[in-house]
Structure 1
Amino acid sequence: MNMAGYPAFADDWERRATIRTRPRRLLENDDKLIFPLCRQPLVLSATFTEHCPQWRDFVLVQSFYKFINDVVIFETEIVDKTARAIAKNRFSLPFPLACRVDAMTVVVDEDYHALVALDFLQQTVTMTGIEPLELPTHIELSLALPAAQAQVPAHLRDAVELIGVAIAENTVTHEVAAFSKDSSVKGSIRGLMADHLFDEGRHAQFWTCLVRSYWQSASPNDRDAIAQALPTFLSRYLTNQLQKHFDLHLIEHLDVSTDVRRALRDDINALAFPIHRQHPLMGNILGFVHNSGLLQTPSVARALNDYMPVNRRLA
């Protein structure tokens, strides 16, 4: 694999990584929100605002717990796994030592992000007295990766894992950035998100470099095989079914009448979340496949045609 010109990130990590430079953040006991309203449509529905607005903080706190749980799964069970395999030279795709060192900085960062997230969960439970409901054991990426890997020959499964993780690391920045800029949210939580974003920007570049180098060395047949798996990956990664399932579970724990509960379920089930070019994360994903060189491969362009802006779609 040709890694000529690879921009090692370890020195930048030493100077700027949040684990090196940030103090512990403490949750404020103020009137700011713990989770953005715009990220939990349940509390914005007409049924909720009319019939049970007193449950808003409970719903937002539980939504924050799910967000933290998702972060921990993402960081420790998926990104950590891939980065650690690369760092320990146990990945089927060989990378030089400089990449392996950088991969270990990603491991440290992601485990630290998970630690900070769990610390905030504990602080929130202590401050609010609200215990988390049963939280999901997997996230969309947990299902998308194996589904896509099942579409390719065995020797390409690590390559699909690399590309899937790179896509996720390039899209998580979008969500974290929006969270960090919402002035209605507690300052410490916005600071937490800003810290996370600071590290993830470096991670996104790292994963993009690895994918670009791999793609340049991949055979045409391997590229075409991976291209055919990308729609499967995106359909599983961009779905809102897990969030919908969580929201329906949350509704069951509200002390409301049967009619209100039924109306709230209808509101959640009616939410449209199409998986196509208008999905809010597609801009980031298309940016990644362009910057990594994937989109210059005709089979990839064809596979992603339905996700392209109208002016870039193939005839």
Structure 2
Amino acid sequence: MNAIDYSTFADAWESRASIRTRPRRLLEDDDRLIYPLSRQPLVSSESFLTLCPEQRDFVLLQSLYKFINDVVIFETDIVDRTARSIAKGRFPIHFPFACRYAAMTVVVDEDYHALVAMDFMQQTVAMTGIEPLELPEEIELSRAIPAAIDMAPEHLRAAMELICVAISENTVTNDVAAFAKDETVKPSIKGLMADHLLDEGRHAGFWTRLVRLYWQTASEEDRDLIAQILPVFIVHYLTNDIQKSFDFRVIEHLPVAEEIRQALRREAMGLAYPINRHHPLVINIMRFLRNSSLLDSPCVQDALSDYLI
């Protein structure tokens, strides 16, 4: 990024950032869904539809609470940490001022997203009178990024952190886009996601450019080492363990007979996508790796050959 890029990015942030341009979203008391059915397959499973369809709204409500909690963890514990380090010039990989300015806009945006998410959770509790169950204290990335960094030699740990955060930011952008287009959910929730998407599109491009800048300067030896870690990161990132534990917790709180809970637990065990080239998030990850130029490198192609279509 150069001075021209800085001016363009600054103008784009001033005119488009949701913190600058979007109103507070207020939850509607209507008949639309509070969370998309497509994002909680448990409520569409055969056992659920047969044995306790009347519990759908409770499960969707708790799923919304978890989603909001995940957003807060992702934005403040993961993205904010790396972006703030870059913005303040403390990141081990040096970037020019234009990049640091752009990173600070990411910090502001992400903390604002967390604030909005917390506000929306409290609105939902007030309207429904139902508190969230105990929510996870981490998300998959809370484990996946440290696992990848720990595998890297000391001089590549910052690069591994940068690439992992960039992958996650690009992946969440496509995930939020699908959420924002769902016509079955309340307009305020769609609006919330559309506001988020407005910022995440800029963020995805920012992280992609930073990774491309780094990759252009990386040695072949360093590229080879990073390539070998990427499959490990992907497996940790796409695991279903935290979601499965949460689904079990929700099932435990349903006012149904124990035999129904057992049937639902069996359903929940089989809801995860296989971690292969057909996984929807793998498609997004591969798109980022192409756009950032990592997939131009033969070592990355070889390391991720199982995921390439």
Query: TM-score under structure 1 normalisation?
Result: 0.95
User: 8 Å contact 1:231–1:303 — kept in the other structure?
Assistant: yes
Residue 7 of structure 1 and its aligned partner are, at CA, apart by 3.1
Partner of 1:18: 18
Partner of 1:144: 144
Partner of 2:232: 232
Residue 4 of structure 1 and its aligned partner are, at CA, apart by 5.8
One-letter code aligned to 1:120: F
In 1, Cα distance between the equivalents of 2:4 and 2:142? 29
In 1, Cα distance between the equivalents of 2:4 and 2:200? 18
Greater fraction helix: 2
Q: Percent identity?
A: 66
User: 8 Å contact 2:167–2:285 — kept in the other structure?
Assistant: yes
Asked whether 1:279 is paired with 2:279, we answer yes
In 2, Cα distance between the equivalents of 1:84 and 1:25? 27
One-letter code aligned to 1:135: L
Partner of 1:7: 5
The answer for unaligned runs of 5 or more in structure 2 is none
1:144-293 correspondence to structure 2 within 5 Å: 144-293=144-293
> In the TM superposition, what whole-angstrom CA distance separates every residue of 1:50-97 from its partner, at most 9, and x where no partner exists?
221221111111000000000000000000000000000110000111
Residue 6 of structure 1 and its aligned partner are, at CA, apart by 7.6
User: 8 Å contact 1:37–1:43 — kept in the other structure?
Assistant: yes
Partner of 1:312: none
User: 8 Å contact 1:42–1:268 — kept in the other structure?
Assistant: yes
In 2, Cα distance between the equivalents of 1:64 and 1:298? 41
Over the residues paired in the alignment, what is the CA RMSD in angstroms? 1.1
One-letter code aligned to 1:7: D
> In the TM superposition, what whole-angstrom CA distance separates every residue of 1:131-185 from its partner, at most 9, and x where no partner exists?
0000001111111101111111011111111000100111101111111111110
Asked whether 1:41 is paired with 2:41, we answer yes
In 2, Cα distance between the equivalents of 1:282 and 1:74? 19
In 2, Cα distance between the equivalents of 1:258 and 1:99? 55
1:73-152 correspondence to structure 2 within 5 Å: 73-152=73-152
3-state SS, counterpart of residue 150 of structure 1: helix
Partner of 1:313: none
Partner of 1:61: 61
User: 8 Å contact 1:83–1:104 — kept in the other structure?
Assistant: yes
One-letter code aligned to 1:85: S
> In the TM superposition, what whole-angstrom CA distance separates every residue of 1:168-211 from its partner, at most 9, and x where no partner exists?
11110111111111111000000000000010000000000000
Residue 110 of structure 1 and its aligned partner are, at CA, apart by 0.2
User: 8 Å contact 1:166–1:204 — kept in the other structure?
Assistant: yes
Number of residue pairs matched?
307
> In the TM superposition, what whole-angstrom CA distance separates every residue of 1:198-232 from its partner, at most 9, and x where no partner exists?
10000000000000000001111111111110001
One-letter code aligned to 1:143: R
Structure 2 CA distance for partners of 1:226 and 1:5, relative to 1, 3 Å: farther
Partner of 1:71: 71
User: 8 Å contact 2:42–2:271 — kept in the other structure?
Assistant: no
Structure 2 CA distance for partners of 1:84 and 1:288, relative to 1, 3 Å: same
One-letter code aligned to 1:281: L
In 2, Cα distance between the equivalents of 1:272 and 1:159? 30
3-state SS, counterpart of residue 20 of structure 2: helix
One-letter code aligned to 1:158: A
